Structure 1
């Protein structure tokens, strides 16, 4: 079974424009993200748009040796389907590029469970229920399920958010499996969406060597330094459809 990670990336983010192209520790957040994903040992594909604004993303991915698929900005579901077809994947791990500290071992554990279940209709995730810090999220599902969603989804939110058709089980044939985390820290934001998120992530990377740490290490640091958690604790996550 060929499983690949597809990470969606674009420069026209609204709350913090070109956020993944900003730098911490002399590397862009996108480069940190791709470095972390490479540790899974799985093929990684960047799914970006055909917009000129996203040329720097294409360039950075190329420098990292990561292939790029370019598609619709708003119909991200079709972008993922196109990337999966082009790379002849059997299953997809979906992540987002605003997670520069995503833990490769967490992702790999989800993939291992998906392989072990051997069920085309299975959807595995660690975020159906929030037990991990934001920034560690992944979803694993089959390409046949992805292609069925592409063919059937009509709601704009389902086209934009890729997997809502699946995890809302709109087709009625998806088996959902959440893999929870017992290590705490679900209140923390290790994702990049605002300037305050950037400040926290930059501090973690530059002052705490966060790029060398796993999820448990990061939670331990956040718990030991409440002043870090306070930097972005007030940020509200965007809701589905926003």
Structure 2
């Protein structure tokens, strides 16, 4: 596959039935939803964006929102998210997929664009490129890039519930033995910061960052610098543990 001539798109998974903070992606901050901030910042990448939600009635609201905002939306299984991703990519004829999750309202599309450019330059359909296996970015800036071929192979051969629910374990654990795993890292480790939305305290921090500091306009380094200069912000949700895969 010549990556340079292929169709690349971002698929963000979204659902309303979060166990720790139900309805979180449509919660409002500063007059906009978390999902709107997420999508606005993904648009910095200049890549097409697709929402992959579930067929549950609870996600009619997500589907209707996407329709209203003219964003392509695929609906599939709640638990077999791998099939949901595969079907979304297949329906939209994507050759390369950037995977993100919609609970990251301050994700940085410019960082994603830089990584995609690196992926294109490497021109390797067996490459998996991400910034979340070797973690130096704050949580909330996570992305993974991989080819449709790798996604299709995972869809056909992944068997465990974890592999099906979390989309990429079959790929990034190199079950097939042919994946070339590459990492996007920062020179400094800022993985202690958490700017993803999973709990009420996460929401308190995100609301502060947006309403008091206008972080929705800032790039990654500016947000990190703000957190370093104001340790009290980090303390708002520093006790939250990420759910284990």
Question: TM-score with structure 1 length normalisation?
Answer: 0.98
Gaps of 5+ in 1: none
C-alpha displacement of 1:55: 1.2
Aligned to 2:44: 39
Question: TM-score with structure 2 length normalisation?
Answer: 0.96
Counterpart of 1:220 (choices 202, 215, 225) is 225
Q: Greater shift after overlay, 55-64 or 71-80?
A: 55-64
Q: Greater shift after overlay, 59-68 or 194-203?
A: 59-68
Counterpart of 2:241 (choices 227, 236, 239) is 236
Counterpart of 1:177 (choices 156, 179, 182) is 182
Aligned to 2:21: 16
Aligned to 1:198: 203
Gaps of 5+ in 2: 1-5
Q: Secondary structure at the match of 1:69?
A: strand
1:106 and 2:111 aligned: yes
C-alpha displacement of 1:183: 4.5
Counterpart of 2:150 (choices 145, 148, 167) is 145
Q: Secondary structure at the match of 1:230?
A: helix
Runs of 4+ in 1 over 4 A off after TM superposition: none
CA distance in 1, matches of 2:218, 2:53: 28
1:80 and 2:85 aligned: yes
Rate the CA distance shift 1:184–1:217 in 2: closer, same or farther, 3 A: farther
8 Å CA contact 1:7–1:44 kept in 2: the answer is: yes
Q: Greater shift after overlay, 68-77 or 104-113?
A: 104-113
CA RMSD, aligned part only? 0.8
Once the two structures are superposed, the pairs formed by residues 150-165 of structure 1 within 5 Å of their partners are 150-165=155-170
C-alpha displacement of 1:132: 0.2
C-alpha displacement of 1:184: 4.0
